[in-house]
Amino acid sequence: MSKVLVITGASKGIGLATAKHFLSEDYRVINLSRSPCPLKGVVNFCVDLLSHTWCAENSVALLTQIEGAEQIVLVHNAAMMTKETVNDISADTLRKVLQLNVVAPAELNSLLIPHMNEGSSIAYISSTLGRKAVANTHAYVISKHAVIGQMRATCQDLAGTMIHTAAICPGFTETEMLSEHLGANPDVYDQITATIAHRRLAQPSEIAETIWFVSQTPVINGTVLDANLGQIET
């Protein structure tokens, strides 16, 4: 059976780990991101998902790459995290974050879903901040809440197609994006891990394994799944 993973943002972090996992399961992997995925065998579309024309410019080539696939797993992983509050957020920042985190997945859905057969799946990568909020991450929190709503709407719209969908909500994960957001202060990491039941950050490979499980398990449909090593409630 021809099995294909289409994933955004597989050049690093969770996306890279997910591409690696699916390659090991004999999937053909197609990555859409500004930087290429470094893994051998991955088909890279070097696109800027912030562009309003990326889909039209790449649709023919992308559909050619998935032609004949009996099963497609679509993983909406690419994301942008910015620092701002309700007091100082700019409209341009909010537009950019929503374009990458919410609008681009909708565009990719519209392109690929008509070509997805029974047994295919769509995984949305939301966040712990899709369920709650923290200060100074205003646009990201808005967008990740929207991702969960987008998944739930997808589930309802695809009823009867036998394509299942879920939203995975990683907690603090050891990725480049988190490092860039938090900086190099070790005290910050100590404060974070003190709120995690396992006292450590999640690894991208652990989130990748969760994505794999979700993609192969139709009973997990319309589900929001936490992947955070346990949050300590205070």
Model confidence pLDDT, tens digit, residues 10-35: 999 999 999 999 999 999 999 999 99
What pLDDT score was predicted for residue 188?
Answer: 73
Give the predicted TM-score (pTM) of the model.
0.94
Q: Is 42 left (phi over 0), alpha (psi -120 to 50) or beta?
A: beta
What architecture does CATH give domain 3-227? 3-Layer(aba) Sandwich (3.40)
From residue 134, give the alpha-carbon distance in Å to each of 53, 77, 142, 167, 190: 33, 21, 11, 20, 17
Q: Tens of pLDDT along 87-126?
A: 999 999 999 999 999 999 999 999 999 999 999 999 999 9
Q: Domain segments of the chain: what residues?
A: 3-227
Copy the structure tokens of residue 227. 């992947």
pLDDT at 161 over 90: yes
Burial of 75-98, coded b for 16+ CB within 10 Å and e otherwise, reads: bbbbbbbbebeeeebeeebbebbb
What's the token pair of residue 40?
Answer: 């051998």
| 178 pLDDT more than 70 | no
